[in-house]
Structure 1
Amino acid sequence: MKFSTWSWRRMRMNTYEVEFLIDMLKLYSPSGEESAVAEYLRDTLSRSNFDVRIDDAGNVIGTYGSGSPTLLLCGHMDTVPGRLEVRLDGDLLYGRGAVDAKGPLASMIMGSKIPDPDGKIVVACLVDEEGDGKGVKQLIRDNIQADYAIFGEPSGACNITIGYKGSLHVYVECITPTAHSSAPWLSSNAIEKTYEFWNSIKNHSFDCNKVESRFYSVTSCLTTLKGGGTPGLIPSRCEAEIDIRTPPQISPEKIIKTMTELAQDFERRNPDVKIKIRDAGYIPAFEADQRSILVRALRYSIRKVCGRIPILLKKTGTGDMNELGSKLNIPMVTYGPGDSHLDHTPNEHISISEYLTSIKVYREVIPMVFKLHRNVGD
């Protein structure tokens, strides 16, 4: 690996923190192949006097300190597939996972080195966030206990993510008669009708929609469309998958009910068409209380380190915070260095200075959370 003179000077100022992240990026860890980076993080946490274990899913769980409250710092070790060269170019460190989400996880681990914390710190390094979420599901099965939680995903070092939309995965099947493709007027076309039905969903004005806000509106994306197969026949069957993103104020049951009503209306207008809808899974939306101790502590810490008031972000994607937030009734936020627009891209990189800033923020916010918690209890 080649570094410029400027880069070496920068690294000598914060050698360990930077080399730690570089080592993590060198350990290629797509979902299902996290064992090498898991062992590295286990050893790193152990050397920092954490009590460390690896659970049944392969998550690395480190505990430091004792008593109440408990602050959970949760990030993921896995990345999407696709190797990238690990290289440092000025202030920018390139590599798969630099932003999503080894950079945020590394800043958590480096920032959690608080001497004699006035509470318990639990660092959870999860597997399979980019896959089926085996890591966070294992935490839920193990009944993880915490009073506050911060999830490590890119928000920018001086911003806080306080909300993620929910995700509803829906299968649609459309059945029609068939006829020879030379006479398309004799029968409805299942592929065409499936697309028409999806458009009716996409263009439906849900009662909860706030036109000025993408976060508080329902959105629909057609992700797969499969039908036909015989060139000489009008397609009589088509399957579609639809990814619906949901705001906090609407339930998945209401959306499915609305889709069912739209399907019934579509069938009335197209008597030779049958529409079947199946709910294939739902992750609830999550929005943090801006008045919570956690948000207040993080806002204070960012203002102290960055010199400005943080922006509170609400994102249209879905993350591990949604899964755990639906199970634990505790304050949660997402925080970490990096630009999320670089997630999964061939140009994925993180600013070293921003990464180091996030470490400073963690070293401020952890004792501040413990202090505010005790002040409320007094």
Structure 2
Amino acid sequence: MDPLAAPIVDLARALIDIDSTSGGEAAVTTWLARDLRERGYQVTEQPVVDDRVNVIATVGATEPETVYSTHIDCVPPYFPSRLEGDTLYGRGACDAKGILAAQIMALDRLRDSGENRVGLLVVVGEENGSHGARAANRLSNRSRYLINGEPTDNRLGAATKGAYRVRLSATGRAVHSAYPELGDSAVEKLLDALVALRDLELPVDPVLGATTYTVGVLSGGVAPNVVPPVAEADVNFRTVEPAARVRERLDASMPGSVSIDDVMIVPPVRLTTLPGFETAPFSFTTDIPFLTSWGKPLLVGPGSIHVAHTAEEHVRIDELVESVDLYEKLARDLLAAES
């Protein structure tokens, strides 16, 4: 491994090796706050819920104009870091502890060069409810730009799709399965609705592409020998327009025997880009819709979203190192533009 890469790899591994599955981030935020104080930053630990906190770092008492941000929680299952050749593996390697390490290194460079208009916001709970981002959005600040970190292969995000989750529910009447004509199958009703989904005309956007959906969870029935009285399906749409447009189509297309309940709405986002940087649209959602008070949003980070949340989550070390330069240049360009 290139000796120049050792500091960022060491920091990333230290973060990865503290389990921070969403909801259990207390140990890693305690470690992070201490590390940032030892680096000389002014650190605030913002309570979120129970023992969970967001960590905010600034250069002295100066309120930052450009803020790096990412999340410190991860999806399960946890597995520790390991190095294999030029690649760092571990839960959070690319989503998003490797990113956090790169942002801290970029922040160090800027601070050491005399730049004090930058800061860092690290939130909990991005993978499950965005509780940290929602809490951070209630804080007053002077930030004009938010450089949010997610795995984008070091490309600036042009836009991200939204997420719209609905629950389709059907009810019926339970009877002995030997006499189905006396009952009313909720599962059959739900199946009719799921088949109708396939013919749904969903919105298309020239940048983000098509709205897509996944039937993520199915449940129904009480026993194999009983006509099922209940059935449900959770359907997750990746949206390119307001969720209301999808709901209109659902209301017009779903059979009346099935009810539709909204579970979650995250809007699609158009992002800030800069000339000279490669850009791309992304289908995943981020905390950005819940951090609107932190300035114009940018999205970028090392690693691929295609390996995030997998058993082989990883990031290439050279990409990790490159991202430090990228984060530093982005902040300098944004600050120069404001000046």
Q: Could you tell me the TM-score, scaled by structure 2's length?
A: 0.89
**Contact 2:137-2:294 within 8 A present in 1 as well:** no
Q: Which residue of 1 aligns with 2:129?
A: 132
**Contact 2:148-2:300 within 8 A present in 1 as well:** yes
Per-residue deviation, residues 108-147 of structure 1 (Å, max 9, x unmatched): 1111121355562120111111222111111122245421
Q: Which residue of 2 aligns with 1:39?
A: 30
**Contact 1:191-1:237 within 8 A present in 2 as well:** yes
Q: Which residue of 1 aligns with 2:333?
A: 368
Q: For 2:177 and 2:236, how far apart are their aligned partners in 1?
A: 31
**1:204 counterpart (200, 203, 207):** 200
Q: Indicate whether 1:13 and 2:9 are aligned.
A: no
**Contact 1:66-1:120 within 8 A present in 2 as well:** no
Q: Tell me the CA shift for residue 182 of structure 1.
A: 3.4
Q: For 1:330 and 1:251, how far apart are their aligned partners in 2?
A: 22
Q: Which residue of 1 aligns with 2:44?
A: 53
Query: More deviation in 34-43 or 99-108?
Result: 34-43
Q: For 2:159 and 2:326, how far apart are their aligned partners in 1?
A: 20
**1:87 counterpart (70, 82, 89):** 82
Per-residue deviation, residues 154-189 of structure 1 (Å, max 9, x unmatched): 1113x2222211111211211235554335466653
| Structure 1: stretches of 5+ with no match in the other structure | 1-6, 268-273, 290-294, 303-309
Q: Which residue of 2 aligns with 1:257?
A: 248
How is 1:262-273 mapped onto 2 (pairs within 5 angstroms)?
Answer: 262-263=253-254, 266-267=255-256
Q: Which residue of 2 aligns with 1:333?
A: 298
Per-residue deviation, residues 30-70 of structure 1 (Å, max 9, x unmatched): 11222222122222322333211100120110012677871
**Contact 1:149-1:332 within 8 A present in 2 as well:** yes
Per-residue deviation, residues 67-122 of structure 1 (Å, max 9, x unmatched): 78711211111112223242222211122111111011111111112135556212
Q: For 1:201 and 1:45, how far apart are their aligned partners in 2?
A: 49
**1:286 counterpart (250, 257, 269):** 269
Q: CA RMSD in A?
A: 2.4
Q: For 2:121 and 2:158, how far apart are their aligned partners in 1?
A: 20
Q: Tell me the CA shift for residue 334 of structure 1.
A: 1.3
Change (3 A) 1:45 1:68: closer
Query: More deviation in 166-175 or 142-151?
Result: 142-151
Change (3 A) 1:116 1:13: closer
**1:232 counterpart (200, 225, 229):** 225
**Contact 1:181-1:233 within 8 A present in 2 as well:** yes
Q: Which has the higher helix share?
A: 1
Q: Which residue of 2 aligns with 1:163?
A: 159
SS at match of 2:329: helix
Which has the higher Rg, Structure 1 or Structure 2? 1
Q: For 2:120 and 2:262, how far apart are their aligned partners in 1?
A: 34
Change (3 A) 1:335 1:154: same
Change (3 A) 1:231 1:37: closer
SS at match of 2:196: helix
| Fraction of identical pairs, as percent | 26
Q: For 1:98 and 1:129, how far apart are their aligned partners in 2?
A: 16
**Contact 2:189-2:258 within 8 A present in 1 as well:** no
Q: Which has the higher strand share?
A: 2
**1:190 counterpart (161, 168, 186):** 186
